Amino acid sequence: MKNLLLATATIVALSAAAPALSADLASQPAYIQAPSPVAAQVYEWVGFYAGINTGWTSSQNCWDFGGISSEGCHHANGGTIGGQIGYRWQYGHALVGFEGQGNWANLSGSNVSIALPTDSIRTKVDGFGMITGQVGYAFDNDVLIYAKGGLALTSNTYEINSSLTGAPLARAGDIAWGGAVGAGVEFMFAPNWSVAVEYDHLFMQDGNLNFTTTTGPANDRIHQDVDLVTARLNYTFSPAVVVKPVAVK
C-alpha cells in the first residue's frame, strides 16, 4: 500500500513538472552550422601567351600619278593566316599588355588608270604585322573585352600593266609603315586556352614609288588602308586558373 501511494505521488509530481520542462526546452536557442567555404575556379589572364589567327583582309589602295593626277582606287581582298605572341598583366578586372603579330596574306586588286587609260595598276599585299599595346576588362571570370593600338607594317608589290594586252610594263615593291587600332572579345573555354574574334584597322603612310617603264621613269604616290577580321586561338603559359574560397549561400 505504501509503495502504491509512493508511485502515485511520483507520477503526479512528474505530470506537474512536465509543462515547465517543455517550456524551458522550447526557449533554448537553435544552433545551425554555418556553410563551409568551397573552392571555386577563377580564370585570370596574367602571363605570356601565344597563338594563331586566320581571317579576311581588305586593303584599299589609291594611286596618284606624279603625286598629283588621280589614277583611281581599288581593293585588294583575300585571306590571311598568322600568329601572335604577347604578355598581359591583370589588376582586379583591369588588364594591360602588349602584343606582336605577323601574318601572311594573299591580297590582290587592280583598276584601269584614270590618268593613263592605257595602263592598268595593280596592288598585291603578301604580308603585314603589328606591334601594339592592349587595355581590357575581364568579367564573368572567363570573358575579356579589349582594345589595342600601335605600329603596323605591310609588305606590298605594285605593278603597272598594259590595259590593252595585259603585258607587264613596270614593277616595284616596298614595306609601308603606319598605325593600327583594333578591338576584340576573348573567351577562355578551358584552363589556359582561349578563343577570340578581333577587328583591326591599319592606316599606312603614303608611299612614293619610282617605276622604270618602257616609255621612261614614272612616279606614283600610293595611299593604303587595311581592314581585317580574324578568329584567334591563344594558349596562356602562366597558370590561368586560380582557386579561391567562395562561401556557399
Q: What is the pLDDT of residues 137-169, one digit of tens each?
A: 998 778 999 999 999 999 999 999 999 998 999
Q: What mean pLDDT do residues 114-139 have?
A: 95
| AA identity, residue 213 | T
Distance of CA 33 to the CA centre of its chain: 46
| Local confidence band at 67 (pLDDT 50, 70, 90 cut-offs) | confident
- Asked if residue 230 lies in contact with residue 184, where contact means CB atoms within 8 angstroms, the answer is no
What's the pLDDT score for residue 8? 40
Answer whether residue 87 shows pLDDT above 80: yes
Which tens digit of pLDDT belongs to each residue from 215-242? 667 789 999 999 999 999 999 998 655 5
Determine the Cα–Cα distance for residues 108 and 237; give it in Å rounded to an integer: 37
pTM (predicted TM-score) = 0.78
- More confident site: 31 or 198: 198
Residue 202 to residue 41: CA distance in whole angstroms = 38
Position with higher pLDDT, 238 vs 127: 127
Query: Which of 23-32, 62-71, 82-91, 97-106 is predicted least confidently?
Result: 23-32
